[in-house]
Structure 1
Amino acid sequence: MLVAAAVCPCPPMLVPEVAAGAAPELEVLRTACAEAVRELLDSGAELLVVVGTGPRAQVWTEGGAGSFHRYGVDLAVRLPSGGVDGPPLAPSLTLGAWLLTEAGAALPTHACAVPADAPPTRMLSLGKGLADLADRVGLLVLGDGSACRSVKAPGYLDERAEGFDADAARALGAADTEALAALDPKLAAELLADGRAPWQVLAGAAEDAGLGGRLRYAEAPYGVGYFVASWC
């Protein structure tokens, strides 16, 4: 059963070594993520599952490791309480492993990568399955909102982006599983909002959990929607 969840974005610049001179610009976001992860770890969960996008569906159950070498930083991380065997973690999951490492997490931890274009029904079903992995499951869900919030954004400016992100932020803040499940995958793809699929995994996992939500952060630095939320 799902007992808690932390929702965080996954820009590599959350890692100060990657951000370098720009690190102070994201300090408020970094603090919000740390607080959400700490609340997740304090929830009494006995198993953590990190969920984020990846190039293909993939699961890590015996540990896993990733690095920030692609960003020119000699920094490697691994999931708590596991080894480093198997394929490298997807970038979103690597950021999740970094957040857990920074928080000193030591719980058994699995990881699950989902394609950004995965059908909602499949994500909802996956979430239900993850919630059944243990009596007390906690999710760390990684994903960004639209990357089309300004003319300098990766996807340039799309006037639909602000409304999409506002709907997502409201749903995440209210732990509204129905609203998350209803997010349009086609629109999300057009707006480069890769958090849609992981958020719908969360919606499936939390469907009957009766959790409440708290929105900790909702801004669009660099023209990308970043949200931090706690569900418990």
Structure 2
Amino acid sequence: MPPVAAGAAPELDGARAACTDALGVLAAARPDRLVVVGPADESGRGPHPQGAPGSFRGFGVDVDVRLGPEGDSAPQRPLPASLAVAAWLLERTGWSCAPIEGLGVGEPLEPERCIQTGRGIAARAERVAMLVMGDASACRTLKAPGYLDERAAPFDAEVARALGAADVAALRALDAELAYELKASGRAGWQILAGAAEGADLGGALLYEDAPYGVGYVVATWS
């Protein structure tokens, strides 16, 4: 988001435009419910209801967000960073198409549990849309957060291909240990998506793939 990445915001214009287009595809699907999934540390794991608050103050930016319209008046724990970014994107595009709920996922979540979680999400309503947050590898260059790892580029290429093709089997087959070593925070979320999409016969489109700052960013839509 520009307020956080102010010095490099133009480098991410393409990614932001792709995210806007992706949310347009979600809205056009006319879902009964939108489930936002993203990586989280222990304090942010588990469900986050509509209206849950998030903030970017930890990044030195005075910006607060909510995951959709304010819901239950009971105090809610703060959103993890991944869901806060999703909330910012949804606010930016004026999402009002369906109720929202969030799910913070631990990166070590085993692939089979991811698949089972996805199946459970798909069963929550007749038409469920998902917004899945998370990066590909963080090891694409010497200055990347995880330093350069020659395995990162082919890993990211396969992730981009699988997401762009809505290849459920390929996402299920992602190596969780390799993803962890490459600091690919999106792996669990992608496998949850794979579980939710089983048997749905969806088509995919790759909208963006690049590695600014040595971190793999991918935007794709399934419909």
8 Å contact kept, 2:50–2:99: no
**What's the counterpart of residue 77 of structure 2?**
87
Q: Which amino acid aligns with 1:19?
A: A
8 Å contact kept, 2:132–2:193: yes
C-alpha separation in 2, matches of 1:75 and 1:34: 19
Q: How does 1:23-34 map to 2 (within 5 A)?
A: 23-34=9-20
- Aligned counterpart in structure 1 of residue 46 of structure 2, from 51, 58, 70: 58
Q: How does 1:109-188 map to 2 (within 5 A)?
A: 109-188=100-179
8 Å contact kept, 1:82–1:108: no
C-alpha separation in 2, matches of 1:162 and 1:62: 36
**What's the counterpart of residue 78 of structure 1?**
66
C-alpha separation in 2, matches of 1:187 and 1:82: 39
Count of residue correspondences: 218
Are 1:22 and 2:13 matched, yes or no? no
Q: Secondary structure at the match of 2:139?
A: coil
C-alpha separation in 1, matches of 2:8 and 2:158: 29
Q: Deviations over 1:109-152 (max 9, x none)?
A: 00001101110000000000001111111000001000000101
Deviation at 1:81, TM superposition (A): 2.9
Q: TM-score, normalised to structure 1's length?
A: 0.91
Deviation at 1:62, TM superposition (A): 4.3
8 Å contact kept, 1:48–1:108: yes
8 Å contact kept, 1:61–1:109: yes
Return 5+ residue gaps in structure 2 as ranges.
none
- Aligned counterpart in structure 1 of residue 55 of structure 2, from 62, 67, 84: 67
Q: Which structure ranks higher in relative contact order (CA pairs < 8 Å, sequence separation ≥ 6)?
A: 1
Q: TM-score, normalised to structure 2's length?
A: 0.95
8 Å contact kept, 1:82–1:109: no
8 Å contact kept, 2:36–2:102: yes
Percent of aligned positions that are identical: 53
Q: Secondary structure at the match of 1:18?
A: coil
Q: CA RMSD in A?
A: 1.1
Return 5+ residue gaps in structure 1 as ranges.
1-14
